[in-house]
Amino acid sequence: MNILLTQKIEKPARDVWHILAHDFDKNYVWMSSVFHTDLRTEGETAKGAPLNGRVCNLSTEEGGLAADEKITFFDDENMVIEFHVVIKNKKLPVISNDVKVKVVSLSENSCEVVWEAEPTLRTIGKILSPLLKLGLNKAFKEILEELKYFAETGNPHPRKVKAMEKVKK
């Protein structure tokens, strides 16, 4: 299964690249599905990458659902980052996901983010692949919408604000 999405953002490409790549471990600030991020320290750091990766806590519970995301390729000049995602603490239909994100400058003040994902599925995931693809498309589209909102306004998307309000209660 391959997923390809794009998102136009009215901000200079380098600004968006900084959020995505140089602040890779700070996605919890703008991404509604991430409540906290820890630096990933196991293994070697990809050439040129500012860090090894991140572990995204997708739950507020201790030992809850998490995504271990290791940067596998980093090209600062061409604004390309690739990372391998492994789900932790829960058995899901998706075993792992290989993601490639590229930021393409469209003009001095706008860019396009290209998000390519190639999930590896368990047998049940292969059976459910049409539904799974719809769900993953929706989730990745929301990530790109939240990135756009954050890059253009400097504030988290209303979905992120709502998610954080639930945590405070």
Whether residue 6 is predicted with pLDDT greater than 70 in this model: the reply is: yes
Question: Per residue in 134-161, pLDDT tens?
Answer: 999 999 999 999 999 999 999 999 999 9
Whether residue 169 is predicted with pLDDT greater than 70 in this model: the reply is: no
Q: Which fold has domain 3-168?
A: Alpha-D-Glucose-1,6-Bisphosphate; Chain A, domain 4 (3.30.530)
Least confident of 2-6, 9-13, 78-82, 125-129: 125-129
**pTM of the predicted protein model:** 0.95
Question: Per residue in 32-62, pLDDT tens?
Answer: 999 999 999 888 999 999 999 999 999 888 8
Q: Which residues contact 37 (CB under 8 A, 6 or more apart)?
A: 25, 26, 27, 28, 54, 55, 56, 57
How does the average pLDDT of the chain come out, rounded? 95
* Cβ–Cβ < 8 Å for 20, 54: no
The residues pairing with 112 across neighbouring beta strands, listed in sequence order, are: 8, 104
Gap between the Cα atoms of 144 and 5, Å rounded: 9
